[in-house]
Structure 1
């Protein structure tokens, strides 16, 4: 092979993509500006970023290739993340090292050697020694093929809750509301809460939960998830019964009937609405602000000041302000919705963030309607 820059003969290639060859580090550095645009990041690179952010990865490839999809519940994912954080932040292993172990099928072996050589012991490492099977048989993420295999695995968990007739049907053949219910069942049965990007995060009340004082601020969302788990696992609620309640807007009544007193739902103003019922734009605002992959909906654009932004920078600043607002414990989405309809967003934001630099003109909307 020849160097991609100076054309000299060489056998050394980019360790990430294995597609471009370089005769020296100097040539590789000179070509970096061009090559970085078409050299895709490895899952190990994203894993390192997640470790430094102290967050469980969200990219499907990382979850698939580094064992997170093999975890049975959020606690196992948290323990696995802690293992990687120790490996990366404390021991100092690089993305290239971790990728090399994974590529050679020696990820578990590499982790144990790194911990033992560094003399690092922790609860995460001890847990890993007892759960090493989570990192066995890992292979490359193949997009839809890998997603389908994972979906089939999870779908098998929800089949006992389907009617005999529905058990023979594919997921795609169900109506939209029933697919949403099945997704909620899948998420609940593996002990997780819906991701912000998912429609069921809005439809089943998670978007109306306030930020908690726990590490991730998901205290209310976790409590709501546990209530659904009680309904599904302990009370054995079938998908058809839940779907009927979802379509008719009586999910709260179903929870009260099956799980006893659910005063917590009304005390905290958790909103679980019918499938066809219009949702408050404040919940789509939360979704847009808390996720990097959700676009700006027209209702959010009109209701919450984004229509007043003249530049992309103003949009980013406004989005950042709302993110800060939403992550404040005093924030309640219903109160912001009320302020929106009264045309008093500026006043509400000022009451929660008194020291924030705000432009009243930027927070104007078309309300109150005459």
Structure 2
């Protein structure tokens, strides 16, 4: 091969893309401005960036090539990220080292060597020693082909719960309600619960659970998830049966009928709205207030005062007020809903947060309407 810049014969190449050849570091540096545009970052480079930012990877190639796609539980993904953060930010392993280990199929053995040689022990490393299989036989991400292998893995998980007829078609061709239920089943089977950003967080009642000051430990949401797990795993509830209950608005009745200790559902006002049932916008407000990535919907904008905001600062002020209100022990979404339809949001908020209420005009809405009287 010849140097991409001076054309001299060479066998040296760019370690990142492995397609551009250079005879010396001098030529490589001279060509850097041009080459960096066409030289895509390796998965290892993105992983290192995520590790320094303490962010869960979202890049498909990183997830596939570094074991995250093999994790069936969200907690395992978190532990794997912690392992890489220690490897990169504490032990000091570079992207080139990690890429080389991965490329040679020696990632697990070199991770152990790096931790052992450095004398580092942590909960993440101890977890890895019990879950080393997650980093075995890692392969290059190949787009649709790799996505299909992941989809096949998920299909194998969900297949026992599908009717014979539904097993013969693709999951995407199922009805809208069954697609939602499949998403719930997969999340529960992986030992997780829906994130607040997901539509199924509202669809399957997690939105009606109480919220504490620390959303990372929502005990009520976890308890609801445990009931769903009992229904799905222990009681082997088929998706068709769940779909019938979801469409008719009787999911709570299904849980009460099949699960132990389901009295908790009524005691804590947990509800699951049927596919065609009215869903108060207060739960969309709750989702918007608790998540930075959820967009403001038109019903929430009209019902809860955001249409009155004149500036972005006022929108943020209102959002933060609702977030604080929702995290208050006295908060009851149904009471806020009643205040909304009677045109008394300001009074309700003031009764719980007397020092946090914004200007009254911000909380005005179109209510009360005659049909609610």
TM-score scaled by length of structure 1: 0.79
- Identify if the C-alpha distance between structure 1 residues 157 and 52 changes in structure 2 by more than 3 Å, giving closer, same or farther: same
Deviates more, 1:264-273 or 1:85-94: 85-94
Structure 2 residue 248 is the aligned partner of structure 1 residue 251: no
Q: Distance in 2 between matches of 1:67 and 1:96?
A: 18
* Aligned length, in residue pairs: 361
- Aligned residue number for residue 217 of structure 1: 217
Equivalence map 1:343-362=2 (5 Å): 343-350=343-350, 352-353=352-353, 356=356, 358-362=358-362
- Identify if the C-alpha distance between structure 1 residues 94 and 267 changes in structure 2 by more than 3 Å, giving closer, same or farther: farther
Q: Distance in 2 between matches of 1:362 and 1:14?
A: 58
Alpha-carbon offset, residue 70 of structure 1: 1.3
Quick check: 1:161–1:238 contact (8 Å CA) kept in 2?
yes
Q: CA RMSD in A?
A: 3.9
Equivalence map 1:335-350=2 (5 Å): 335-350=335-350
Alpha-carbon offset, residue 53 of structure 1: 7.2
SS in 2 for 1:165: helix
Alpha-carbon offset, residue 121 of structure 1: 1.0
Rg larger in 1 or in 2? 2
Equivalence map 1:183-332=2 (5 Å): 183-212=183-212, 216-328=216-328, 330-332=330-332
Q: Distance in 2 between matches of 1:354 and 1:96?
A: 56
Q: Distance in 1 between matches of 2:157 and 2:256?
A: 25
Quick check: 1:12–1:23 contact (8 Å CA) kept in 2?
no
Q: Residue by residue, what CA displacement relative to the aligned partner does 1:207-242 show, whole Å, maximum 9, x if unpaired?
A: 211224777132211111110111111112111111
Q: Distance in 2 between matches of 1:44 and 1:238?
A: 41
- Identify if the C-alpha distance between structure 1 residues 168 and 367 changes in structure 2 by more than 3 Å, giving closer, same or farther: same
Deviates more, 1:181-190 or 1:43-52: 43-52
- Aligned residue number for residue 111 of structure 2: 111
Q: Name stretches of at least 5 consecutive residues in structure 1 with no aligned partner.
A: none
Alpha-carbon offset, residue 78 of structure 1: 3.7
Alpha-carbon offset, residue 362 of structure 1: 2.8
Q: Residue by residue, what CA displacement relative to the aligned partner does 1:71-114 show, whole Å, maximum 9, x if unpaired?
A: 23244334323323433454355667655654665433443233
- Aligned residue number for residue 128 of structure 2: 128
Q: Name stretches of at least 5 consecutive residues in structure 2 with no aligned partner.
A: none
- Aligned residue number for residue 157 of structure 2: 157
- Identify if the C-alpha distance between structure 1 residues 42 and 122 changes in structure 2 by more than 3 Å, giving closer, same or farther: same
- Aligned residue number for residue 367 of structure 1: 367
Quick check: 2:349–2:357 contact (8 Å CA) kept in 1?
no
- Identify if the C-alpha distance between structure 1 residues 143 and 337 changes in structure 2 by more than 3 Å, giving closer, same or farther: farther
Quick check: 1:208–1:269 contact (8 Å CA) kept in 2?
yes
Structure 2 residue 329 is the aligned partner of structure 1 residue 333: no
